[in-house]
Structure 1
Amino acid sequence: MTSSSPVFTTQEDRSARIAVTIFPLLILAAAALGFFAPAAGQAIAGYTSIFLGVIMFAMGLTLTLPDFGLVLRRPLPVLIGVIAQYLIMPLTGFAISWALQLPPELAAGVILVGCAPGGTSSNVITYLAKADTALSVTMTSISTLLAPLLTPLLTLWLAGTYMPLDAGGMALTIVKIVLIPVIAGLVIRLLFSRLVDRILPALPWVSVAGISLVVIAVVSGSADKIVAAGALVLLAVILHNSFGYLLGYWFARVLRQPVRTARTTSIEVGMQNSGLAAGLAASYFSPAAALPGAVFSIWHNLSGAVLAMYYRRSADRHLAADPHAGAEAPGLGADAGAGAPESR
């Protein structure tokens, strides 16, 4: 997820497609294992924070300083994307919880998913969609760095009416399992860039393994709730994710951003760091509250892959209709950069 190279290589492109295709299947397998062998999940439940820390450290390893340079070069689209991330998804999660009359535990979980930062699988989906990968990377990075402040505050505001929350404790946890690992990874990348470059292709699978373990732990602790409310949770997740894509796109368009930027914002807003949300929900609410995050982890990768195909075909039709638009075509140019894909 680095912008150190202008475009994906053929090998990286193949890795990105494999990661997007295989990741949901692995998460489904992890969910099945947690459901049918709950003892295995309970054995690792106490290590959820460690798994999340490893995932965020891997994310930090993929970052470079140029990823943050876009904030200075193109501040408006970055600002729009981050505002949309922390405005649309929290409020949409709250509205869906109210409209579906979700039980308090599930409502808190849905809202917490909405208050989480962007998921880094959005960077791969953005690339495959021929949108602005460099912008997606920057949006994800900034929203992640803001998470220790905004995620607890928004969750307390919107979910505090459903269940009590230690917002200060959550903020400290996010600092420990998100901010510190990400910064540590970034520093190590700066100091040992050649060594890290060699392991970049393996980092997506570190994230896949980490989130799979989180899902096993979450599902094992709430198998009875899945039976009772599985369909309701799935409906809430589908609505949340879909409205994220739709509202993210039109939020950018209303603010007069080009289509390519709007598509990037759409993907970035709709795809959440649901693994983090599931882990926090299990720690600060209940195992049942972690269910929406676990289901979102599966669904948003499936829906994201479909959306990427739609956007990609639309971009190809646009380019075919206007060959002179090649310099501005999604996925081309200096801002299309990305490195090793991640999945989360």
Structure 2
Amino acid sequence: MQIMMPFLTAKLAGQYVAVDAVGLLVSTLQLEPGCASSRIGRCISKSVLPGLVRLISPLMPPIAVGTVAILCGNAIAQSSSAILKSGLQVVLAASLLHASGFFFGYILSRLLGIDVASARTISIEVGMQNSVLGVVLATQHFGNPLTAVPCAVSSVCHSIFGSVLAGIWRQNVPTQTQD
């Protein structure tokens, strides 16, 4: 996906805005070593530095939320007048995108025979696509700040919907054998 996304963007959006597919590809691939090193570091640190992990782990979620809020808030603030003009359409499109991701992620998982707990996890993963990556890439590679707005609005929508859905599902935790 990381390799095809920049070229599909150039093909599909290139007729409306200038798209540097190679630049998008390089930016996207630069994130992969960070993700891999994060996973490796997590495995190593749990066995080598468990005390440090226990100390730092509670701090990471608020830092992540703050970072997302700053990135998305900046994109939304820069384009507030455009959002006020067409905001309802953007919010509706983002809401439908994420609602269908949550719904189909769960339904298709269950149809494939996956247990309830795993289907819920898949639903959250599918419904909460990485809109912040879109904000960063749009900000870096497109001159017009409006290009980051749909991703920023999408990030807000999936954060709200995902949190509400997780809260609802937390009320009824499935057992290991529930199908």
TM-score w.r.t. the length of structure 1 is 0.45
After superposition, where does 1:133-212 map in structure 2 within 5 Å?
Answer: 148-176=2-30, 178-189=31-42, 190=44, 193-194=49-50, 195-212=52-69
Cα root mean square deviation, aligned: 2.6
What is the DSSP-based 3-state SS (H/G/I as helix, E as strand, rest coil) of the residue aligned with 2:17?
Answer: coil
Shift of 1:329: 5.1
Alpha-carbon shift at residue 179 of structure 1 (Å): 1.5
Aligned to 2:146: 288
Aligned to 2:155: 297
User: How many angstroms does 1:181 deviate by?
Assistant: 2.2
Does the aligned pair in 1 maintain the 2:116–2:178 contact within 8 Å?
no
Q: Which runs of 5+ in 2 are unaligned?
A: none
Q: Which residue matches 1:45?
A: none
The structure-2 alpha-carbon separation of the partners of 1:310 and 1:209, relative to structure 1 and needing over 3 Å to count, comes to closer
Does the Cα contact within 8 Å between 2:135 and 2:152 map onto a contact in 1? yes
Q: 2:177 aligns with which of 328, 337, 342?
A: 328
Say which of 73, 88, 101 aligns to 1:216: 73
How far apart, in 2, do the equivalents of 1:216 and 1:307 lie? 23
Change (3 A) 1:231 1:157: same
Q: Deviations over 1:153-190 (max 9, x none)?
A: 443454445434222211111222x2232233344442
CA contact (8 A) 1:282 1:288 kept: no
- The one-letter code sitting in structure 2 at the alignment partner of 1:183 is A
**Aligned partner letter, 1:298:** V
Q: Percent identity?
A: 33
8 A Cα contact 2:76 2:153, kept in partner: no
Return the offset for 1:204.
Answer: 0.9
Report the alpha carbon displacement of residue 245 of structure 1 after superposing the two structures with TM: 1.1
Kindly provide the amino acid, as one letter, of the partner of residue 184 in structure 1.
Answer: S
Number of residue pairs matched by the alignment: 174
Q: Which has the higher contact order (CA 8 A, sep 6+)?
A: 1
In 1: Cα distance, 2:169 partner to 2:73 partner: 33
